[in-house]
Amino acid sequence: MLQRQQAREGSHWRLQLIAVETGAKASSVTESIRILAEHEAGITTFKTLIRHPMETGQREDERSGRKIPAHFIQEVTVEHADRIVFKALWGTGVSANPYLSFKFRGGKPGDQVKLSWVDNMGQSDSLQAVIVKAN
């Protein structure tokens, strides 16, 4: 339980670090997704934090002793200008509240990027964010 709590706090800290590193605030936020997309010298850096339990199905509930059902993100997609710039198929090996960062060529300040995810229980979320100029 302590490790799970520390992981959650760590994810929150990583998101705060994004703002500190760049001097900006997350450009877009939903209940489960935070995004910061910055452009500099023809390269867009995309950073996101996704709030999700990412349960493997192997842990037992401490109170009941029963296994906690698997609940994890299966697919993450990021789109820019109606084309997929990043796609990942995840499984149980990804930690709770995953942080993702990658770079792609193209994009410019004012353009939109969209992140979408779907999990193994059919839940999903998506968020559009505006690319900002890097400080």
Full residue range of the structural domain in which residue 12 is found: 2-133
Q: Is the pLDDT of residue 15 over 50?
A: no
- How much of the chain is in helix, strand and coil states, percent to nearest 5? 15, 45, 40
How far is Cα 112 from Cα 80, in angstroms, rounded to an integer? 6
pLDDT score for 23 = 47
**Which CATH number does the domain housing residue 119 bear?**
2.60.40.10
Mean pLDDT of the chain: 85
Q: Is the pLDDT of residue 13 over 80?
A: no
Is there a contact between 31 and 51 (Cβ–Cβ < 8 Å)? yes
Give the count of domains, the chain: 1
How far is Cα 15 from Cα 26, in angstroms, rounded to an integer? 8
Is there a contact between 7 and 94 (Cβ–Cβ < 8 Å)? no
Phi/psi of residue 53, each to 5°? Answer: -65, -30
Q: Tens digit of pLDDT for each residue in 63-107?
A: 999 999 999 999 999 999 999 999 999 999 999 999 999 999 989
Tracing tokens 């299966």 back to the chain, one arrives at 74
Tokens coding 98: 């995953």
This prediction's pTM: 0.80
